[in-house]
Amino acid sequence: MSQTPQQHDAIEVIRAKRDRQELSDSQIDWVVDAYTRGDVADEQMSALAMAILLNGMNRHEISRWTQAMIASGERMDFSSLSRPTSDKHSTGGVGDKITLPLAPLVAACGVAVPQLSGRGLGHTGGTLDKLEAIPGWRADLTNEQMMAILEDPGAVICAAGSGLAPADKKLYALRDVTGTIEAIPLIASSIMSKKIAEGTGSLVLDVKVGSGAFMKDVDQARELAETMVALGTDAGLKTVALLTNMQTPLGLTAGNALEVRESVEVLAGGGPEDVVELTLTLAREMLAAAGRTDVDPADALRDGRAMDVWRRMITAQGGDPDAALPVAAHQHVVRAQADGVLTSLDAYAVGVAAWRLGAGRARKEDPVQAGAGVELHAKPGAVVRGGDPLLTLHTDTPDRFARAEEALDGAWFIAPEGSRPDLLPLVIDRVDG
């Protein structure tokens, strides 16, 4: 791509997409570059984003748009490492702590994991928020520090530097306030521009489906998965996507320190079945994409190698893996009101409750409570008795309990005994290039 894109006019580009025309390479290169530099106004890019939301983009347009966003900043290079690299990206959900056990597990099997993660916004938790519950742990690393940790112990989870796809950071903030977040071409290019610029050797995408996910139905999620896999393929990045169930929260916790504690249980050989299953499934995909089909990650989970990498990874980023995790000052138990079978537990409602308890934020600058969140005592399919604990709410500020309980109103259903929940499988589908 040219370093000095051909000159165009913002109104010309907006009209072209408004009128369902295919944007040319030079139009895309110019508008992304000009917006990043401030030569295209926010209101003009807002109009273009809305036109893209309404009229879409074809595969070539999305690929070129993604490359233009990558060209707005730096690219990382891990080719000097002594082992191959593979990364995972999740589109976000409730209780989705999979990155925490997954990164050290894959590293324990000989593949380096450069996991650039983010913080939570709204009902979905952020990986960095979870890890920042560990005393001393820091998310901000220099490129040199990141490379050193990737060499040994082999996994790093950190914040993306400001030089990586700066066009995306600016455009994402605009989409957030203009009702254009849902545009699949812009979602896909946002995710993939950062992942391609990151320089990983292969990528596995975990596209969540269900009430607690951004994509509510399978067809919509499949379209996003196929678009992102195509972008990776066009860029020469081996990319695979799994569609996974986010109708019910993952595991038994939603909150920062609560999810770290559960992740450590998984690394110690225990933990909830769904978290273990998805961690191993994604690990096998990442290892296969990196060419390591000769190892079984279940062995590294069983024999303690993954736990060893976790401890060294946390220590390398300033954290104390032996330190006590924060505990919320107040708890409130929500109990079942009838005997029967729990047939549903809505992920979105649990996520909103955790957010209201202090585990999440409404704006990027809001603080979070490390100990806040929701603990689940039963998942769909469980037999419960009236008075049994269903959920425990955790917060440092007890006046938040009432609002959290409002969010949970109607969030579960208890059917007569003998009933069977109608659940999607944990892994719904797989998309590859």
| Active-site annotation, residues | 89, 168, 175, 190, 194
H-helix or E-strand containing 238? strand 238-245
25-37 helix and 166-176 helix, angle to the nearest 10 degrees: 80
Of 251, 246, 289, 269, which is closest to residue 88 (Cα–Cα)? 289
Q: How far apart are CA 172 and CA 169, in angstroms?
A: 5
Q: How far apart are CA 124 and CA 333, in angstroms?
A: 22
Strands 389-395 and 373-376: antiparallel
Scanning the structure block, which residue is given the tokens 């139009």? 27
**Alpha helices for 235-272 (secondary structure H):** 256-267
DSSP letter assigned to residue 398 = G
Q: Residue 334 forms beta bridges with which residues?
A: 391
- Measured from the Cβ of residue 335, the count of other Cβ atoms closer than 10 Å reads 13
Scanning the structure block, which residue is given the tokens 């062995």? 299
Of 258, 260, 248, which is closest to residue 395 (Cα–Cα)? 258
